[in-house]
Amino acid sequence: MSWQYYNPNPEGNLVGDCVVRALSKALEQDWDTSYLGVTTQGYEMKDMPSSNAIWGAYLRHKGFKRHIISNDCPDCYTISDFCNDNPNGLYILATGTHVVTCVNGDWYDTWDSGREIPIYYFEKEN
């Protein structure tokens, strides 16, 4: 289980669009499609696309369910730990300031965010 470099941003930007990058990977969409989808959701709900409520609603419409990370070790359970504990499945993890996709135990991002502490996650339901 490890970090995999992933940057679908057509301009190669590395910051400010983690929500769109995570959606792109999880939904198997290009960056533009993910950006337009979450922006449309924001327009409908009258909030910014990067708002947790907006991208969360977008994911729920796409068949994801939100879960809270256990509070057993709130300062030590990392993205890397989560991915190691979940070697099968599709997840989007939120840290409070960052969003990253985990697919079958690997996390996909523009940088190794494995030491970040997730607060909650979305799981793709079958």
Segments making up each domain of the chain, as ranges: 17-124
| Cα–Cα distance list, 25 to 9, 12, 18, 86 (Å) | 11, 15, 11, 17
Contact 21, 6 (CB under 8 A): yes
Instruction: Give the type of residue at 97.
Output: T
Per residue in 30-61, pLDDT (tens digit) is 999 999 999 999 999 999 998 999 999 999 99
What span, in angstroms and rounded, lies between the C-alpha atoms of 38 and 99? 14
The confidence score (pLDDT) of residue 28 equals 97
Q: What average pLDDT does range 10-20 have in this prediction?
A: 91
Q: What is residue 54's predicted lDDT score, i.e. its pLDDT?
A: 97
pLDDT in tens, 70-99: 888 878 899 999 999 999 999 999 998 999
Over range 7-11, report the average pLDDT.
Answer: 95
Contact residues for 17 (Cβ-Cβ < 8 A; gap 6+): 9, 31, 35
pLDDT, one tens digit per residue, over 99-125 is 999 999 999 999 999 999 999 999 998
Query: Which pLDDT does position 75 carry in this prediction?
Result: 83
Query: What is the helix (H) or strand (E) element at residue 65, kind and residue range?
Result: strand 64-68
Model-level pTM? Answer: 0.93
Residue 65's pLDDT band, with cuts at 50, 70 and 90, is very high
* pLDDT level of residue 17 (50, 70, 90 thresholds): very high
Mean pLDDT of the chain: 95
